[in-house]
Structure 1
C-alpha cells in the first residue's frame, strides 16, 4: 500500500503542478509570501514580549516609542534586523594552451629462430623476410586551448534577521529580498555568521565581514526561462560519453 501511495500522490499532484506552470506563464511569476526565516518559525525561538513601557511625561527626555536610551541599538538578539551592504566587484581571467606531439617507429626481425625461420615462409606470404618481419610507425599530436573570462559587479543592500545567537556571541543572519519588474522576479538571499563587533553604529555590515556567507542573486520569469538551458539538453550534455 505504501509503495502505491507515492506514485498516486505524484499522479494527483501533476495537474496542480501543470496548472501552476500555466498560470505563471500567463500571469508571470508571483512574489513569495512574507514570512520569518525557518529558524524563527518556532515560537520558542522568538524573543518574548516584554512589558509595555509607561507613558513619559511632557518634560521627560525619554520619548514614547523610543527603543533604547542608554542601550546599544545595534542588532544583537534573535529577531533583530541588520542591514547588509553588498558590493561585489570581482574579475578573473585564466588562459591555458597545451600542445603535444610524438613520433615513434619500430623495426624488428627474426633472422634466426631455432632454425625455423625458413619453415615460417611456408605458412606466410611469399614476400616474407625474416630479417625485417615487423615494422611499425606511429605519429600522434594534440593541441588544446582554453580561456575563462569572468567579471561580476553587484551593488545591493538587503535587510536580514538575526536567526540565532551562537554560544560565543556571534550572530547567525538570514534574509531574502524579492523585486518584481514586469514579468521578472529578482531574488536576493543572504545567510551567514557575523561578529557583533563588526556591526557599525548605523546597524550595517559589509558582506566581506560575513563568515560562511551564502549570497544568491537570481530570478525567475520570462527572461530567465528563455536564457535557461532546456532540461533534456542539460542531461544530454552532462552524461554524453563523447
Structure 2
C-alpha cells in the first residue's frame, strides 16, 4: 500500500514538473508574414518626402493638390470597404496496385539404393508464393468565406499602392468571432464608392479567430490532459 502511494505521488510530481517546464519555456517570436516582409522591403526604398518651399503656402500633400481627382482613398487613415468572397477547394485521389509471384521447387531424382519412380525423397521441396496489393484513397477539402468589412489605409507605399488592414468583431449569443483582413491594393482598382473585392488584394491575409461553445469543443486539450492520455494504458 505504501509503495502504491509513493508511486502515485512520484507520478503526480513528474506530471506537474513536466507541465511547469512546458509553461515556463519561452515561446519563439512569430515569424513575419509575407505581407510584413513586403512592407519592410517597400519602406526601405522610400525616399525623403517632398518639403514645401520656405514661405510658400503650397503643400504637395494637401487635398487640393489635384483638384481633378475623386474622393477615392489615397492617404493614410482613409477607409476602404472590402467585399470578401473567398472559396477554396482541393481534391486529391490516388491508387496503388502491385502484384508479385515467386516459385521454388527442389527434388531428388536419384538416391543410393533401389531406384523407385515414386521414392520418398523424390519431391523434397515445393514452394509457391503470391503477393498482391490493391489500394486506393481520396481526400477533399472545401472552405468558403463571405463577409463585408471596412479597412483602414495603414501605409502608402512609394509606388502609390495602399496597405489595408481591417477588423470585424461579431458577437452572437455566446459566440465571439473576429475577422481580420490585410493586404495591398492599387488605388485604380477602387470604385468611386471606395469598394474593392478580395480577389483584387495582393499579399492578402485573412485570419478568423473565435471563442465560444464551438471553439471550446474543438480546441486542443491542455498539456496535462495530453500527458495523462499518453501515459495511461486505457
TM-score class, shorter-chain normalisation, is: 0.5 to 0.7
Deviation at 1:108, TM superposition (A): 5.2
Deviation at 1:95, TM superposition (A): 5.9
Deviation at 1:226, TM superposition (A): 1.3
Q: Which residue of 2 aligns with 1:160?
A: 151
SS at match of 2:73: coil
Runs of at least 5 residues in structure 1 that lack an aligned partner in the other structure:
1-6, 12-38, 40-66, 112-117, 119-126, 236-242
Matching of residue 96 in structure 1 with residue 88 in structure 2: no
With the length of structure 2 as denominator, give the TM-score of the two structures.
0.54
Q: Pick closer, same or farther for the CA change 1:234–1:174 going to 2, 3 Å.
A: farther
Match of 2:103 among 101, 106, 109: 106
> Runs of 4 or more off by more than 6 Å in structure 1?
232-235
Matching of residue 226 in structure 1 with residue 214 in structure 2: no
SS at match of 2:75: coil
Match of 1:82 among 60, 80, 91: 80
Q: Which residue of 2 aligns with 1:177?
A: 168
Deviates further, 70-79 or 163-172: 70-79
Runs of at least 5 residues in structure 2 that lack an aligned partner in the other structure:
1-19, 25-38, 40-62, 112-119, 228-234
Matching of residue 190 in structure 1 with residue 213 in structure 2: no
Match of 1:150 among 138, 142, 150: 142
Q: Report the Cα distance in structure 2 between the residues aligned to 1:169 and 1:159, rounded to whole angstroms.
A: 20
Q: Which residue of 2 aligns with 1:18?
A: none
Q: Which residue of 1 aligns with 2:205?
A: 214
SS at match of 1:225: helix
Q: Pick closer, same or farther for the CA change 1:105–1:97 going to 2, 3 Å.
A: same
**1:66-77 pair list within 5 angstroms:** 70=67, 71-77=69-75
The alignment's C-alpha RMSD in Å is 4.0
Q: Which residue of 2 aligns with 1:121?
A: none
With the length of structure 1 as denominator, give the TM-score of the two structures.
0.53
